[in-house]
Structure 1
Amino acid sequence: MTEDRSGWRPFIERACQAVGIEPDLIDEDIALELAARVAREGERPMAPVATFILGLAVGSGKGDVDDLKAKIESVA
């Protein structure tokens, strides 16, 4: 069964507009992959926290999103 992603991008665009960032900066697949891994291999409630940490790190210019994602996954 395939997920219905039709509402995802409109939500992302509205949320980004609400906080003043470009929707093109958002890669929902990276966030979802990180959340899934943390939920499986770590503590499930930490999945959204991990994606928040990733967003802060990327926004602060701490490095490449893929490298930062891998670092967070390594501590799950």
Structure 2
Amino acid sequence: MSPHGTPGADIYRWVGAIAEELGVDPDLVDVEGVLDLAREVAAGVGRPAVPLTSFIAGCAVGAGVLTADGGRAAFADVAARVTASARAWSPEGPR
């Protein structure tokens, strides 16, 4: 991240490189959206939940990747649902 909280060029290079390595179209990756999702989970649940939630969200989006929009609608839906859950979370369970 840059000092101003926006992703730096390195993150885009990394996304391009790892997407190519894994056979994923880098244009499918909504960098800002994924980072926003991670921020919501970290704030609402806790930092250790971020990679696990990212993996689960990726699995959910992967199920919708064959849609006409390349999975963007699936990501938007998953991100909205995860964000709502993270905001409602408390250690005792959903608020």
Q: Which runs of 4+ in 1 moved over 2 A?
A: 1-4
Contact kept? 1:38, 1:44, Cα under 8 Å: yes
More strand by share: 2
For the Cα contact (< 8 Å) 1:34–1:50, is it kept in 2?
A: no
Residue identity over aligned pairs, in percent, reads 30
Report matched runs for 1:44-55 at 5 Å. 44-55=47-58
What is the CA-CA distance between 1:74 and the residue it aligns to?
Answer: 2.2
Alignment of 1:60-71 (within 5 A): 60-61=63-64, 64-71=74-81
SS in structure 2 at match of 1:64? helix
TM-score by length of 2: 0.70
Higher helix share: 1
User: Hey, what does 1:17 align to over in structure 2?
Assistant: 20
* Cα offset, 1:61, TM superposition: 1.2
Report which stretch shifted further, 23-32 or 57-66.
57-66
How many angstroms apart in 1 are the aligned matches of 2:46 and 2:10? 28
Higher gyration radius (CA): 2
Looking at both structures, which has the greater relative contact order when contacts are Cα pairs under 8 Å and sequence separation is at least 6? 2
Q: Do 1:12 and 1:23's aligned partners in 2 also have CA atoms closer than 8 Å?
A: yes
Superposition deviation, residue 42 in structure 1? 0.9
Tell me the C-alpha RMSD between the 2 structures: 1.9
Spell out, residue by residue over 1:4-35, the C-alpha distance to the aligned partner (whole angstroms, 9 max, x if none): 61111111111011111111010111111011
